[in-house]
Structures are given as structure tokens and as C-alpha cells.
Amino acid sequence: MSESFFDLPLLVAGPAIVGSLCLYGIVGLSIVRRYVLPRLRSQDSNSDFTGAMLQAVMVFYGLAVALIAVSVWQSYSDAAKVSSQETTAAAALYRDLGGYAEPARSQLQKELRDYVNQIIHQAWPMQQRGQIPTAGVEIMNRFQAMLMSFEPTTEGQKILHAETLSTYNQLIQARRLRLDAVQARLPDVLWFITRDFQLESFPANWLICL
């Protein structure tokens, strides 16, 4: 499906989908009833068979759509959980950096703020379009180089530095999971079931004689 279609507001996309399907069904029904059924000389017994087959197909279609809805919701929940983990790790890391001495504290916090701003203003819009952002790699490389170059001198600084490194690792893991979630999408066969198969089920309704 076109990626730009998902950028439309729900109040626009919903009526557009329903309206297009209704128009497709009404126009197709009118054409088949006027030009096709008279030539086929269809009888009521044929309609009974077609109706029974259609009911069986729609039961299968309903089960498939229900399973797809569960899968999509699970993927959405997993992505939201990963995003929450990255946000929490970034907030905790920022507070840990507050215990560092100057100028390391200001430099590290600035790099972390730049990373968060990059996620908000660049990464998320790209991920919405199905693209994997790469700008954050350079920022995190600079942040890691600065963090690794810090040499704690007191026992308190050593404990704080170890905790900061642990939180930083959690941030990197959450970032990797967020980027992996960009490629998570429905397979083409499921799109066929939800889109093409639905459109192809309309002709079966048109052939039923009332």
C-alpha cells in the first residue's frame, strides 16, 4: 500500500476507505445485474450455492482479520514499550550525568540533549515513513567517546561512572530495538487477505439473485 496513505488523518482515511468500497460494490452490482446476470440465466438454486460458499469464505476472512488485528496490536504494544524504555534510559542517564564535574557534565548533557532532539525532530518522522534514521549514530559516537574518556578519581565518582555506563548500555539496547521495529510490518500475503481478497469477494455477492 502507498505509504503516504498512512499520513492521512483517520477522519479522512476512514470515510475514504468506506466510501470507496461502497461505491465499488454499488457500481459493480448495478453492472452485473444489468448486463451479466441476464446472459447467465441464473436461477434461485444457483444463488443458494453461491450464498453458502460466500458465507464460508467470509467466516475464514473474519478469522484472518481478527488474527491480523491481534498481531498489529502486539507489534504496536512492543514498539511503544521499546520507545518508553529508551525515553526512561535517556532521562536516567541525563540525571546521572548531573553528578559529573565540569566541564564533562555540560558537554555530555549537551550531547544527550542533541540526541533526544534528533529523535524527536528527525528520527521519528523518518520511521513513520518506514525509513531507518542514521543521524543518531554520529551523536552517540561522540557521546560515547567523551564518556569513555572520563577518568574517575574518587570512589564516589567510580560508582557513579559505573552506573552511568550501565544506563548508557540500556539506552543503546533500546535504540537498537527501536530501529529494528521500523522493519516490522505485515507480510504481503496478509495485505492480500485484507485488501485484494476483500475486493475480490464482491463479485460473489453480485452473482446472487434476489
Our CA dihedral for 140, 141, 144, 149, rounded to 10 degrees, sits at -150
User: Do 78 and 159 contact (CB within 8 A), yes or no?
Assistant: no
User: Do 42 and 207 contact (CB within 8 A), yes or no?
Assistant: yes
| pLDDT for the residue numbered 44 | 60
pLDDT-above-90 percentage for the chain: 26
What are the residue ranges in the chain where pLDDT is below 50? 1, 210
- CA 141/CA 107 separation, integer angstroms: 14
User: What is the chain's alpha carbon radius of gyration, rounded to the nearest angstrom?
Assistant: 28
Burial class (CB in 10 A: 0-12, 13-18, 19+), 43: exposed
pTM over 0.85: no
User: Do 175 and 86 contact (CB within 8 A), yes or no?
Assistant: yes
Q: What are the residue ranges spanned by the domains of the chain? A: 65-204
| pLDDT for the residue numbered 130 | 76
C-alpha cell at 101: 564535574
| pLDDT for the residue numbered 37 | 72
